[in-house]
Structures are given as C-alpha cells and as structure tokens.
Amino acid sequence: MIGNPEDMMVEAVKRATKRANPALEKLLEVHLRLNANSGFELAYRDPKRFKDFVNRLFGEYSGRLLEMLIVDEIKRMLEIGEDLENLEKAVEILRMIV
C-alpha cells in the first residue's frame, strides 16, 4: 500500500482509468493539466472539482462510472467493505484512516 492518502488517490485514479480503458489515463491527465492546472491529485484535494472536469470530458454517465471505479479501487487498497457512495466520502475516509 502507498504511504500517504494523496498518493493513494492518485494511484486509485490511475488504476480506475486503466480498468475502464488504458487510453483514458493520458486523456484525463492532459485534460486536467490543460483545464484545471492540476493532475490526478485534484481528486484528493478537491473531489467535487475533479468530478466536474471528468464530467466535462466524458459526460455525466461516464463520469459517474469512472467515479465508481475510483471508489472501488480505494476500497480495495484500504481493504474495506464499507459502502462508499462517492469520491467525496472516499476522500473523507482516506483522511481519517491513513
């Protein structure tokens, strides 16, 4: 497991994008760098803003699917079965646990 919560979130985003489609990782990374002046760490630092940028790029339905995949990766990394409904809750748990 990765040491700090921000790094864990970045890794979860990378794994989730690869699970969805390996090309998505670079596409999302470029989109965030160009439009948000940030990278995958935005998912940890400001999950709502991250989701807004994902939705702009992929659409609301696909954005929600990616969010669910990221949350699933966080659950795997933390080895928890807790119901996590969204990215904000995952960040909250990361901040408490790690």
Share of residues in the chain with pLDDT > 70 (%) = 97
What's this model's pTM, rounded to 2 decimal places?
A: 0.92
Q: How many CB atoms lie within 10 A of CB 80?
A: 12
Q: How confident is the model at residue 59 (pLDDT cuts 50, 70, 90)?
A: very high
Amino acid at 65: L
Residue 44's CB: how many other CB atoms inside 10 A? 22
**Rounded distance between C-alpha atoms, residue 7 and residue 1, angstroms:** 10
Burial of 34 (0-12, 13-18, 19+ CB in 10 A): exposed
Fold for the domain defined by 5-97: 1.10.1200
Could you report the per-residue pLDDT of 21-54, keeping only the tens digit for each? 989 999 999 999 999 999 999 999 999 999 999 9
Q: Alpha-carbon dihedral of residues 26, 10, 64, 21, nearest 10 degrees? A: 40
- Please state, in angstroms and as integers, the Cα–Cα distance from residue 21 to each residue in 2, 47, 56, 64, 65, following that order: 23, 21, 18, 15, 12
